Chains A and B, each alone.
Chain A
Amino acid sequence: MKRFSVSTFACTLAIAALSFTGCKKDKEVLPTTPTGPTTQTGTLDIELDQRVGNTPLVLATQTYTTPTGDQFRVTKFNYYLSNIKLTRADGSEYVQPESYYLVEAEDNATHRLAIKDIPVGDYTGITFTIGVDSARNVSGAQKGALDPNEGMFWSWNFGYIFTKLEGFSPQAPTGAFTYHIGGFKKPYDAVRTVSPAFRNGAKLLIRTDHAPEIHMTVDVLKMLTGATTVRFATFATSHSAGPNAMLLANNYAQGMFVVDHIHAN
């Protein structure tokens, strides 16, 4: 009973204060200005170069061969790249806010990620998630890259489709393969975070007057090879979170993304 009257009293006071100011319509409200030193920032472009082994990915028409000799063509290759972090030599990090990108092989405009407002400094590493963190899988209506209208969302069993690889292979039982990979709950958590190394001690120098670029290759073959050798005859589909999605995610977490070089610009 005590708590009841105290909170009522407090609420009444608060409301009274609110309505008091509410009556004084002409009262001037001073804008709040941020204090402290302004951090100087620069930009970074990440250029993503989709490949199959050593050759560029050409959708639909080009036939490729896996190391085990299966032939295939690719009609769709999409993936989410999210939660980008840049690391400095001292271990400190820049974490990009609202960091969600959908890369689609069929849409060249999505192959370049323009990252802004990075504090100037010397960065020695990059870390990002292939897919979407668990929180955003269940966060409700989303805009931008996470808009469910992008066709990368499972509505019957909630969650984003992290990566899609679709195409045709004469070895596949139906002639087609479909790998949709997602899942954020154990034991089928397919969220993978990777840190492709900057080669030969290269540094990413973020400056106010430079526009550096990380050139990354993204090798489709790495989804089909690695810990699990994917043969189209026996492993042609993944349609939900589950064991198949895990095998494919484990494969591509090992080396699908490689930092080829960094332009200082």
Chain B
Amino acid sequence: MRRTIAASLAGGLAGLLLAACHADVTLPAEPVVPGAVLPANFPAPVYAPDANPPSAAAFALGRSLFYDERLSRDGSVSCGSCHQQAVAFADDGQRLSQGVRKQLGTRNTPALQNLRWKSEFFWDGGPKNIETLPLAPITNPVEMDETLANVLRKLNADTDYPRRFAQVFGSGPIDSYQLLRALAQFTAALTSANSRYDQAVRGEGGVVLTAAEQRGRTLVAQKCASCHATDLFTDETYRNNGLNASFEADSGRAHITSRVTDVGRFKVPSLRNVELTKPYMHDGRFATLEQVLAHYDHGVVASPTLDAALRPTSGPLGIPLTTAEQTDIIAFLRTLTDQDFIRDQRLAEQP
């Protein structure tokens, strides 16, 4: 935290000093590339900015690609079709999402936020690098159902992309390296760290939580933070949270590791913007946060890999929560909604 403050102070000084050198330079009110400055209350990122230094042109190129339906086989869906900014880049209200030819996926679309801090992606952790992650949705038959070679062909035949890629990467045909690096400029920029909660913990603008929100915060710290840890509100592990007695339909993490101990385990999602990202769980079975908390209170189902945190030494499975506690927890969860993130025009599809 201290280091980050020092860095931003130094950055400010650098700007001042630069301005002293070039008197005609005016500093923009906010950086051109969102997410280029790391939030002070977050841990160290996995994909640090210097791994793919943010630049305005590369970010804008990544944004165009993210919202371009030509990444799909029949030109019907873009990344943005199922990852909508208004709901923290989840799929608004959809239990499962539609790919090309209106095919349904098999799991609930996760929010895209704070991806810089993830070393493994998806509900099962199959993809392991933010740059190469898009290969999965592009080639998945029920998502974009396209080949990388075809995407590159389309981009190279476009009237505008070759010029824009050349501006960032130098001349030559657009290749997979350029495509993936450009996309990562955008996806890594999707930083959500300016909720009321963030402002309160950073002591910004005199923001304070209400009494109910503060009680909820304490409850989350006591009862939820063993999984929804740190200010990212996830520990990035895979856990069986008691949704089913068996997992024939979707074995979760075991699909990747082939280990029986991973059957029924799914990635712990962040609680950030959780108010917006309904429905919940890997299969989108719960429509409301109330239903989610009711599940943890009295809906947990036993199975061999059920997480230890949901198996108390005495009493029923799950996490007992009174009605009043559930109300306070939901009040707190709503403080994690980041209006700046969902309204940032720089992250929106450009006209």
Q: At the interface, yes or no: A108 with Cβ under 8 Å from chain B?
A: no
**Contact-residue size bin, chain B (C-beta under 8 Å from the other chain):** 35 or more
Tell whether, in the assembled complex, residue B127 and residue A158 are in contact, meaning their CB atoms are under 8 Å apart.
yes
Chain A residues whose CB sits within 8 angstroms of the CB of B128 once the complex forms: 137-138, 158
> Can you list, as one digit per residue, whether each of B141-153 has a CB less than 8 Å from chain A (1) or not (0)?
0000000110010
Please pick, from B131, B257, B258, the residue contacting A141 in the complex, using a CB distance under 8 A: B131
Chain B binding site: helix, strand, loop or mixed by DSSP? helix
Chain B residues whose CB sits within 8 angstroms of the CB of A158 once the complex forms: 126-129, 132
- A142 and B132 alpha carbons, distance in the complex (Å): 9
> Can you list, as one digit per residue, whether each of B116-144 has a CB less than 8 Å from chain A (1) or not (0)?
00000000001111111001101110000
- A198 and B17 alpha carbons, distance in the complex (Å): 63
Q: At the interface, yes or no: A153 with Cβ under 8 Å from chain B?
A: yes
Q: At the interface, yes or no: B180 with Cβ under 8 Å from chain A?
A: yes
A50 to chain B, nearest CB (A): 24
Tell whether, in the assembled complex, residue A155 and residue B2 are in contact, meaning their CB atoms are under 8 Å apart.
no
Number of A positions contacting B (CB below 8 A): 34
Please pick, from B13, B20, B180, B255, the residue contacting A140 in the complex, using a CB distance under 8 A: B180
Q: At the interface, yes or no: A23 with Cβ under 8 Å from chain B?
A: yes
Please pick, from B3, B21, B131, the residue contacting A22 in the complex, using a CB distance under 8 A: B21
Chain A residues whose CB sits within 8 angstroms of the CB of B258 once the complex forms: 188, 240-243
- A148 and B7 alpha carbons, distance in the complex (Å): 37
Q: Which of A3-11, A86-94, A114-122, A212-220 contacts B (4 or more CB under 8 A)?
A: A3-11
Tell whether, in the assembled complex, residue A7 and residue B14 are in contact, meaning their CB atoms are under 8 Å apart.
no
Tell whether, in the assembled complex, residue A155 and residue B136 are in contact, meaning their CB atoms are under 8 Å apart.
yes
A159 to chain B: closest residue by CB: B128
Q: At the interface, yes or no: A147 with Cβ under 8 Å from chain B?
A: yes
B175 to chain A, nearest CB (A): 7
A185 to chain B: closest residue by CB: B257
Given known A11-B10, A138-B129, contact A155–B135 (CB-CB < 8 A): yes
Given known A11-B10, A15-B14, A242-B258, contact A4–B177 (CB-CB < 8 A): no
Q: At the interface, yes or no: A265 with Cβ under 8 Å from chain B?
A: no
Chain B residues whose CB sits within 8 angstroms of the CB of A234 once the complex forms: none
Instruction: List residues 1-41 of chain A with CB under 8 A from any CB of chain B.
Output: 3-4, 7-8, 11-12, 14-16, 18-19, 22-23
- A157 and B253 alpha carbons, distance in the complex (Å): 10
Chain B residues whose CB sits within 8 angstroms of the CB of A147 once the complex forms: 175-177
Tell whether, in the assembled complex, residue A8 and residue B14 are in contact, meaning their CB atoms are under 8 Å apart.
no
Tell whether, in the assembled complex, residue B21 and residue A141 are in contact, meaning their CB atoms are under 8 Å apart.
no
Instruction: List residues 163-191 of chain A with CB under 8 A from any CB of chain B.
Output: 185, 188
Chain B residues whose CB sits within 8 angstroms of the CB of A23 once the complex forms: 21
- 7 pairs, A vs B, C-beta closer than 8 Å: A7-B3, A11-B9, A19-B14, A23-B21, A155-B135, A156-B136, A241-B258
B interface residues (Cβ-Cβ under 8 A, vs A): 2-3, 5-7, 9-10, 13-14, 17-18, 20-21, 51, 126-132, 135-136, 138-140, 148-149, 152, 175-177, 180-181, 184, 255-258
Closest 10 CB pairs of A and B: A11-B10, A140-B131, A155-B135, A19-B17, A141-B180, A138-B128, A155-B136, A158-B128, A140-B129, A157-B126
